A and B are shown apart, each in its own frame.
Chain A
């Protein structure tokens, strides 16, 4: 019985650790929140290790769910075990995602037109323009403000337009 209680405790810790590892950086580096350098450091650390670490936590969770399964004949207990495993698997999946790019997708492939073909822009629309080694490129601000990042090569130089 004591062994069983220990197993449940370990399981609870695993689920909590998996959820916190992915939730803390989401909370800390959200928009419209004041970030300190400590917030950034902790977020970086958690984001850095979560793609590997959270699946490992999910693996341990699976191990403990299997171990506890036989000794948990009740429906409620088994639902709880499945839920524990489901939550850590969800956290493991989320750890592989970049939720910022759900909101602001990068362009599938940056494509370019000549000014005469640029009917999607009016003369009053603002652009971010660069000229490198004689090659000029204009990035419409409204497109940049959505994508935030556009990778390109201008005049033989690899650049990234940011806004």
Chain B
């Protein structure tokens, strides 16, 4: 998700090619080519320019609707709807071939779905299939303490910075009657899945969100060659 205004002009993009299974888009205004996953212009007059990323959330419609009751929803395009993928499209995609080079000691399979997180000086991939059993992860990426918060049975994940007013918080999931709730052990405040403290000493505070990219390992590592992979217990 990108802001498409560059130097005061709103750019209009077209699907224009494929670069190692990530698409290239061309802007109408200058004809430059942009890489979808990085938002960077790779050919043409604007080569080297960078679109500004818009923080996004990838969740179920139920969650989004609950958190944003007044949301707009994109309606299916009547001329194309018949070509939309079926509900099991993820299983279909998983069977497609991969064309990027593989190193000898690759930590993950090419089409392993990862939640990719990056800061200016570090990048880490979390294996989505492992997230459900892990619960909230208090991690540190580079110098930034982060909270990796899986929910919806591990299918969705949000990441937040976990420093509030200079204090770094440790989070844990509630159990028993508090099942499905999130607390910090530093102040005992209860937090929503959207990173908002709902009760306790920090009530009303919000954790700054960190962008998460759900991506296949082969694509993630191409654009974040310095990435490591999160291993539980290390």
Q: At the interface, yes or no: B64 with Cβ under 8 Å from chain A?
A: yes
Q: At the interface, yes or no: B76 with Cβ under 8 Å from chain A?
A: yes
In the complex, what residues of B have CB within 8 A of residue A12's CB? none
B67 shortest CB reach to chain A, Å: 8
Q: At the interface, yes or no: B133 with Cβ under 8 Å from chain A?
A: no
Main DSSP-derived SS at the A contact region: mixed
In the complex, what residues of A have CB within 8 A of residue B94's CB? none
Count residues on chain A whose CB falls below 8 Å from chain B CBs. Answer: 66
Inter-subunit contact A149/B25 (CB<8 Å): yes
Could you pull out 24 A-B pairs where Cβ atoms are within 8 angstroms? A29-B17, A29-B19, A31-B21, A32-B97, A34-B20, A34-B100, A35-B19, A44-B44, A100-B16, A123-B61, A125-B61, A126-B58, A126-B155, A127-B73, A128-B1, A130-B55, A131-B68, A138-B64, A138-B65, A145-B85, A146-B84, A148-B25, A149-B14, A158-B3
Q: Give the B-binding residues of A (Cβ under 8 A).
A: 25, 29-35, 40-41, 43-44, 47-48, 98, 100-101, 104-108, 110-115, 117-118, 120-132, 135-143, 145-152, 157-162
**Known interface pairs A35-B19, A158-B5; 5 further A-B residue pairs with C-beta atoms within 8 A, sorted by A's residue number:** A44-B44, A47-B16, A101-B14, A130-B55, A138-B64
Q: Give the A-binding residues of B (Cβ under 8 A).
A: 1-5, 10-21, 23-25, 31, 33, 36, 42-44, 54-62, 64-65, 68-80, 83-85, 87, 89, 96-97, 99-101, 155-156
